[in-house]
Structure 1
Amino acid sequence: MRFRRSYADLLAHPRYTGAAQFFLDHLYGPGDFSRRDAQFARVVPTVVRLFPNDVVSTVAKLAELHALSEDLDTRMAEELFADGCPISPEAYLQAWQKTGMREQREMQIELTIQIGAELERLTRKPLLRQALRMMRGPAGAAGLTELQSFLEVGFDTFRAMKGADEFLSTVDRRERTLCDALFETSILGRSAKENSDLAQIRRYFSA
């Protein structure tokens, strides 16, 4: 929900709607990634053996992002549900600040942007799409169907966008701005900037 509100303009943009939806579905969305998560626990060694060399670094970053996001999400959930109170934007803000780990939050953003840049780079290799298609059978046999789908959909989505620089720079800028606001804003709204940031946080994280 938060990503959809933050990027309503990109989701509605003819050129960027596919990439924005891909980020929502595969990197920011509320979907159940349990099957993909289980794959990531063992994914990189298998990818080195099975997949084209061009995609190995992309998958390594994806596995790193997954592990980091899972850790941060778990810590956030522990804070959010600790007292049994309803989840509100203010509760989310306090849980974020109690969880801390600002360096890891910034790395989470950096990895997300790097993965997007890697997918865009892969689209410049015209033979790679055919190679990925040929990997469906081996990937399925190895239990890597979720990863295979991510790579194929990501490749096709970023190729259709025909240039990802503006899209990725927009996501990077907005995510870093929001991250800063979540760390630096008081729920008391002690300044005009804090009041503005708090209003934005309420808009993004309201039910």
Structure 2
Amino acid sequence: MSKQEIIFRLRKALHDAASQRQSVKQNGDVLAARLAVKRFQSLRMVTTYRDLLDSPETRAAALFFLNDLYGPEDLTQRDSDLERIVPTMEKLLPASALETITEALELDALSEHLDAEMASRLGAEFSAAEYMEAYRLTSRAERQRQIAHVRSVGSALCELVRLPLIGGTLKVMRTPAKLARLSELQSFLERGFKAFKEMRRPDAFVDTVVHRESGILGRLYAGDPEPF
């Protein structure tokens, strides 16, 4: 896939996620419900991946997935930063690096859509049983696509860290990023790269995450009372 095609996908994912976040901010009740869903999911994932968080080798990668890809934080500023630096990224980064970022943004946009659907049914206060019922009402195909994006992001990062010179390219970007007040975005890029670079078997980490999330998905749709 050419850089131009990847950039088109990147911009579309940015727009989709930003539109979702903007619509939420216009209604306080909807925002509270959305944050409640995100907090529940974040706490669930901490429990699911406690062993990876406790391991020195995989802790950084687990935190990257939990905070940067699935976290409850408001990513509006990051979206704005990305939109501004797209031309710079297109010039400096290889297609494989742009593909990694694009996969992460497509995961983000889909997750925002699914979270909005859940929040509309749950409100700001709900039980675990109510969360599971709302989850089962979302599209199973979209949930499976969400996990496929997780694998794609992880696999892209695994490939990225094997490329020569990519670490140096990210370092070269620090100065223009700082001058353009894009330090937050630069930190996001470097955290993902560094976290996967530190693991001896990053592919095993990705397999573990995909296997566990797929198992939870299957148990939820099967009506298992303890899917997590």
**Common fold: TM-score over 0.5:** yes
Aligned pair 1:167/2:209, yes or no?
no
Distance 1:42 1:182 in 2: 40
Distance 1:52 1:3 in 2: 32
Q: Is the 8 A contact 1:3 1:29 kept in 2?
A: no
Aligned counterpart, 1:199: 226
Q: 1:30–1:93: structure 2 CA closer, same or farther, 3 Å change rule?
A: same
Q: Gapped runs of 5+ residues in structure 2?
A: 1-42
Deviations 1:96-155 (A, max 9, x none): 122x21111111111112111111211112311111111123334556543322221111
Q: 1:45–1:180: structure 2 CA closer, same or farther, 3 Å change rule?
A: farther
Higher mean C-alpha deviation, range 47-56 or range 34-43: 34-43
Q: 1:74–1:46: structure 2 CA closer, same or farther, 3 Å change rule?
A: farther
Deviations 1:5-56 (A, max 9, x none): 0011111123212211221121122222221234456775663244333311
Distance 1:152 1:40 in 2: 14
Q: How many residues align?
A: 186
Aligned counterpart, 2:150: 112
Amino acid in the other structure paired with 1:58 = T
TM-score, structure 2 as length reference: 0.73
Q: Is the 8 A contact 1:43 1:63 kept in 2?
A: no
Distance 2:104 2:197 in 1: 19
Q: Is the 8 A contact 1:26 1:150 kept in 2?
A: yes
Q: 1:90–1:158: structure 2 CA closer, same or farther, 3 Å change rule?
A: same
TM-score, structure 1 as length reference: 0.80
Larger radius of gyration: 1
Aligned counterpart, 2:21: none
Q: 1:42–1:114: structure 2 CA closer, same or farther, 3 Å change rule?
A: farther
Q: Is the 8 A contact 1:50 1:138 kept in 2?
A: no
Identity %: 40
Q: Is the 8 A contact 2:161 2:197 kept in 1?
A: yes
Aligned counterpart, 1:93: 132
Deviations 1:52-93 (A, max 9, x none): 333111112122112111111111111111xx7x31111101
Amino acid in the other structure paired with 1:199 = E
In structure 2, which of residues 145, 166, 173 is the aligned counterpart of residue 128 of structure 1?
166
Aligned Cα root-mean-square deviation (Å): 2.2
Q: 1:174–1:142: structure 2 CA closer, same or farther, 3 Å change rule?
A: same
Distance 1:67 1:40 in 2: 14
Q: Is the 8 A contact 1:44 1:60 kept in 2?
A: no
Higher mean C-alpha deviation, range 159-168 or range 137-146: 137-146
Aligned counterpart, 1:16: 58
Q: Is the 8 A contact 2:92 2:169 kept in 1?
A: no
